[in-house]
């Protein structure tokens, strides 16, 4: 259908009463270019031939692209109508595949976007009028804030009622944070004016980026399309250390969300910021906070970046809060990523033993699988390697006489595949570590070929739902070999895929991209498999002993992402190892379950989990101001009570001391501290009590007491000989 014909559909919708007719602000129509058309056709070709799935895109998928694109624009399903959805599907669905594949024609994307912009324009005017009339906050009614699975409104009356509640939903958090009604309504008014301005500023290449990224993400959640300007930003971030807070930010329906914390960056070092926290305001030194809800993400990033050593204050809605009124101010000091702070570090913990003795156990925290990417320039020192650093720390821990070692991968989001293979090789003699399968079914074995073993003693790997990619390879391989006990959340993250950035200029004829800068597409091209043939994708690595965790009740794993690739298996390889003896694993699990029932720290943890689980299940919230004030008071009282309990538990901490890399000790940073730069810095909520680490130390201590030689951990006869001598319920040590 032509643009002119779809304009008639839009006009009919207005006549039918879906939205009040009005004179919209004139906006230049969006139009594609020959370059954009060629890029579109090439993205489809690469999806069908290079992407891991390596399958033709069906007409049904192209039709579904319309619904998904509408959702990406309108994630709360508030601006579009059900009639819009039906009209777009019936009009464009049957021919969209041909238009995109053969012609690269983006008229569908531009028209859907134009209708969205019209809906937004009309709705913002409606909101501004509503903000001028009295708002009743004493009515006992609920607002469903999680609308991602609900339909678009069918009538103008239904849409108006949703927005009437939405306005209250946005005003109440400001009122609960000591703003007047006038200030709160003014903030909402500016927020929607800003949202309207942002969408008016979007140009054709940016709409193309949203549309093609919607298509790529329908293949898997990690594939995307970069416009030329986004590709330039991406390339700069890969080459340079930009001064900021060390966080990867994304926009989720107009709200800035922290998606990843960079090891060694100010945010992660503060211990006051978490993944999935939402940034709702930003304040420069000596200035009032600026509301950033609805602000363009690039503008937010530019506000946060700044001169090295200067403070920036973020107003955060914690990730575990469903109520936007729960806010806290966090002051960070802008800095480049501190490379030494991003490197592995170790400590020795004095764990009480059986007869009151002390069992020293080493812990190595590995934040990422870092290493040299390029050869150093003349005169430059080579980049540090995680394998080299961990090998040095292992030597120091062995020299200190530790009885066992824990590798802490809980905050490790991955890194270099080669480093994951080499690091695994520190604990095994030789053998396969990971297999990589590409879209053509070719499988490449990545083995450890170095017979040197840096540490052959008792070993444990501690994981979480944030352990992803390369960290899952290490944990899974060591589990396959029976070389380590895996302890952690119910599973790791489950990202078992590899992405490649493919620049369009590599594939397009030269005469095409000389007329303008080209973009790129990032596609998933490979999948990881452990030595036994099991994928780490989606399911992750299941620990030998799982511990209760708040993260298990939050949608943060790969399996929670739309269109995530499935778990599967390939033929396993021969390797010199097998997993832990089931009887030993069962015994260790029983002793852990007994401690879960008896120890105060686990009662505290379960209370936190129950509270979080209850809030994760909430889909709606009260719009009665008094009820919300009471809810906030209860939540804040609960948080304070739990903080007090956690603080009191710190008296149970095991004595420990740090072990530092030689190069780090020789180059300790002399940069000013937060306290030196900010008069009244926000204290961290982290009061230094690590429940999961404490239990992992106890589990390793118990294992060493039962079966000191890790070579016997996989031997059923050896473990039976030990376990058969124990009392029926085994030995429980609560200290």
- Is the whole model's pTM more than 0.85, yes or no? yes
Average pLDDT over residues 396-421: 96
Average pLDDT over residues 171-176: 95
Q: Band the pLDDT of 265: cuts 50, 70, 90.
A: confident
- Rounded to whole angstroms, how far apart are CA atoms 544 and 39? 47
Mean pLDDT taken over the chain: 88
pLDDT of 735 reads: 64
Identify which has the larger pLDDT, 124 or 373: 124
pLDDT of 213 reads: 97
- Rounded to whole angstroms, how far apart are CA atoms 508 and 352? 65
pLDDT of 255 reads: 83
Look at residue 709 and tell me whether its pLDDT is greater than 60: yes
Distances (CA, A) of 418 to 340, 406, 422, 484: 21, 22, 6, 20
Contact 709, 584 (CB under 8 A): no
Average pLDDT over residues 123-152: 93
By mean pLDDT, which of 68-82, 575-589, 630-644, 719-733 is the weakest? Answer: 719-733
Contact 81, 154 (CB under 8 A): yes
CB count, 10 Å around CB of 617? Answer: 9
pLDDT of 341 reads: 72
Contact 347, 393 (CB under 8 A): no
Q: Where are the alpha helices (DSSP H) in 574-624?
A: 582-598, 600-616
Average pLDDT over residues 624-652: 94
pLDDT of 599 reads: 96
By mean pLDDT, which of 1-5, 650-654, 715-719 is the weakest? Answer: 1-5
By mean pLDDT, which of 278-292, 458-472, 582-596, 661-675 is the weakest? Answer: 661-675
Look at residue 5 and tell me whether its pLDDT is greater than 60: no
The percent of residues above 70 in pLDDT, for the chain, comes to: 89
Contact 434, 369 (CB under 8 A): no
State which H helix or E strand residue 723 sits in: helix 716-723
Look at residue 647 and tell me whether its pLDDT is greater than 90: yes
Domains of the chain, earliest start first: 3-221 (no CATH), 242-333 (2.30.42.10), 345-371+383-434+445-495+535-677+689-723 (3.90.226.10)
pLDDT of 242 reads: 55
Dihedral over Cα of 473, 476, 482, 484: its sign: positive
How far, in whole angstroms, is CA 20 from its chain's centroid?
40
Q: Band the pLDDT of 169: cuts 50, 70, 90.
A: very high
pLDDT of 512 reads: 65
By mean pLDDT, which of 217-226, 269-278, 357-366, 438-447 is the weakest? Answer: 269-278
- Rounded to whole angstroms, how far apart are CA atoms 214 and 200? 20
Average pLDDT over residues 587-609: 96
Average pLDDT over residues 616-629: 93
| pLDDT tens per residue, range 549-573 | 999 988 889 999 999 999 999 999 9
| 3-class DSSP state of 725 | coil
User: What's phi and psi for 346, nearest 5 deg?
Assistant: -135, 165
Q: Band the pLDDT of 9: cuts 50, 70, 90.
A: very low
Residue 378 is given by DSSP the state T
| pLDDT tens per residue, range 42-76 | 999 999 999 999 999 999 999 999 999 999 999 99
- Rounded to whole angstroms, how far apart are CA atoms 266 and 735? 35
pLDDT of 327 reads: 87
Identify which has the larger pLDDT, 274 or 400: 400
CA angle 29, 33, 38 (to 5 degrees): 140
| pLDDT tens per residue, range 515-552 | 678 999 999 999 999 999 999 999 999 999 999 999 99
pLDDT of 24 reads: 44
Look at residue 8 and tell me whether its pLDDT is greater than 80: no
Look at residue 22 and tell me whether its pLDDT is greater than 50: no
Look at residue 671 and tell me whether its pLDDT is greater than 80: no
By mean pLDDT, which of 125-134, 377-386, 500-509 is the weakest? Answer: 377-386
Q: Band the pLDDT of 134: cuts 50, 70, 90.
A: very high
What is the chain's length? Answer: 735
Average pLDDT over residues 608-622: 91
Q: Band the pLDDT of 707: cuts 50, 70, 90.
A: very high
Average pLDDT over residues 285-297: 85
Identify which has the larger pLDDT, 734 or 428: 428
Average pLDDT over residues 665-679: 55
276-313: string of b/e by CB count within 10 Å (b at 16+)? bbbbbbbbeeeeeeebbbbbbbeebbebbebeeeebbb
Task: Give me the helix-helix angle, 181-201 and 107-130, nearest 10°.
Answer: 160
- Rounded to whole angstroms, how far apart are CA atoms 657 and 663? 18
pLDDT of 683 reads: 45
By mean pLDDT, which of 266-270, 640-644, 688-692, 719-723 is the weakest? Answer: 266-270
The percent of residues above 90 in pLDDT, for the chain, comes to: 69
Look at residue 200 and tell me whether its pLDDT is greater than 50: yes
Average pLDDT over residues 331-344: 82
Q: Band the pLDDT of 514: cuts 50, 70, 90.
A: low
Average pLDDT over residues 506-510: 85
Q: Band the pLDDT of 288: cuts 50, 70, 90.
A: confident
């Amino acid at each position: 259908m032509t643009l002119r014909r779809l304009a008639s559909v839009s006009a009919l919708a207005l006549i039918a009463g879906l939205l009040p007719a009005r004179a919209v602000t004139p906006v230049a129509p969006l139009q594609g270019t020959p370059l954009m058309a060629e890029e579109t056709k090439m993205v489809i070709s690469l999806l069908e031939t290079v992407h891991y799935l390596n399958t033709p895109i069906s007409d049904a998928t192209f039709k579904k692209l319309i619904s998904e694109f509408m959702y990406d624009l309108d994630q709360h399903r508030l601006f579009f109508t059900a009639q819009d959805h039906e009209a777009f599907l019936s009009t464009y669905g049957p021919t969209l595949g041909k238009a995109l594949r053969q012609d690269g024609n983006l008229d569908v994307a531009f028209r859907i976007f134009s209708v969205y912009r019209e809906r937004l324009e009309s709705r913002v005017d409606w909101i501004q009028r509503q903000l001028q009339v009295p708002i009743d906050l004493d009515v006992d009614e609920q607002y469903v804030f999680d609308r991602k699975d609900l339909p678009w409104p069918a009538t103008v009356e239904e849409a108006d009622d949703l927005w009437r509640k939405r306005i209250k939903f946005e005003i109440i958090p400001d009122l609960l944070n000591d703003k007047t009604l006038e200030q709160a309504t003014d903030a909402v008014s500016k927020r929607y004016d800003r949202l309207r301005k942002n969408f008016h500023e979007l140009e054709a290449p940016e709409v193309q980026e949203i549309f093609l990224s919607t298509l790529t993400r329908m293949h898997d959640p990690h594939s995307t399309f970069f416009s030329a300007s986004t590709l330039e930003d991406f390339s700069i971030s890969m080459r340079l250390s930009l001064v900021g807070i060390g966080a990867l930010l994304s926009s989720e329906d107009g709200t800035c969300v922290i998606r990843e914390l960079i090891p060694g960056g100010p945010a992660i070092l503060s211990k006051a910021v978490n993944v999935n926290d939402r940034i709702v305001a930003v304040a420069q030194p000596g200035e009032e906070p600026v509301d950033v809800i609805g602000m363009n993400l690039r503008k937010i990033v530019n506000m946060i970046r700044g001169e090295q050593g200067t403070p920036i204050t973020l107003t955060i809605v914690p990730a575990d809060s469903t109520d936007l009124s729960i806010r806290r101010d966090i002051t960070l000091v802008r800095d480049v990523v501190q490379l030494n702070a991003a490197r592995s570090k170790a400590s020795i913990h004095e764990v009480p033993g059986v007869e009151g003795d002390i069992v020293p156990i080493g812990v190595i925290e590995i934040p990422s699988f870092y290493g040299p990417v390029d050869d150093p320039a003349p005169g430059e020192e080579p980049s540090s390697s995680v394998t080299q650093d961990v090998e040095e720390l292992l030597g120091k821990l062995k020299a200190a006489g530790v009885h066992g070692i824990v590798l802490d991968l809980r905050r490790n989001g991955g890194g270099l595949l080669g480093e994951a293979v080499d690091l695994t090789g520190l604990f095994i003699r030789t053998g396969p570590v990971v297999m990589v399968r590409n879209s053509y079914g070719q499988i490449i074995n990545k083995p450890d070929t170095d017979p040197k073993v840096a540490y052959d003693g008792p070993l444990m790997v501690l994981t979480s739902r944030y352990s992803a990619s390369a960290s899952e390879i290490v944990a899974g391989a060591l589990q396959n070999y029976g070389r380590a006990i895996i302890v952690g959340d119910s599973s790791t993250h489950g990202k078992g895929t590899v992405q490649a950035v493919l620049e369009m200029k590599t594939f397009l004829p030269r005469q095409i991209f000389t007329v303008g800068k080209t973009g790129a597409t990032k596609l998933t091209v490979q999948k990881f498999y452990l030595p036994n043939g099991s994928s780490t994708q989606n399911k992750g690595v299941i620990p030998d002993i799982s511990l209760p965790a708040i993260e298990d009740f939050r949608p943060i794993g790969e399996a929670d992402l739309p269109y995530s690739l499935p778990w599967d298996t390939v033929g396993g390889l021969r390797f010199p190892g097998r997993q832990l003896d089931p009887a030993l694993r069962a015994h260790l699990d029983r002793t852990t379950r007994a401690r879960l029932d008896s120890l105060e720290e686990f009662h505290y943890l379960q209370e936190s989990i129950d509270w979080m689980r209850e809030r994760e299940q909430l889909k709606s919230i009260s719009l009665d101001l008094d009820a919300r004030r009471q809810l906030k008071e209860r939540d804040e009282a609960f948080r304070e009570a739990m903080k007090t309990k956690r603080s009191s538990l710190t008296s149970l901490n095991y004595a420990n001391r740090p072990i530092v890399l030689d190069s780090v000790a020789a180059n300790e940073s002399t940069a000013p501290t937060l306290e030196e730069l900010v008069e009244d810095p926000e204290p961290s909520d982290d009061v230094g009590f690590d429940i999961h680490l404490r239990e992992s130390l106890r589990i390793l201590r118990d294992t060493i007491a039962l079966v000191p030689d890790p070579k016997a951990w996989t031997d059923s006869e050896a473990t039976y000989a030990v376990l058969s001598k124990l009392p029926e319920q085994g030995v429980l040590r609560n200290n």
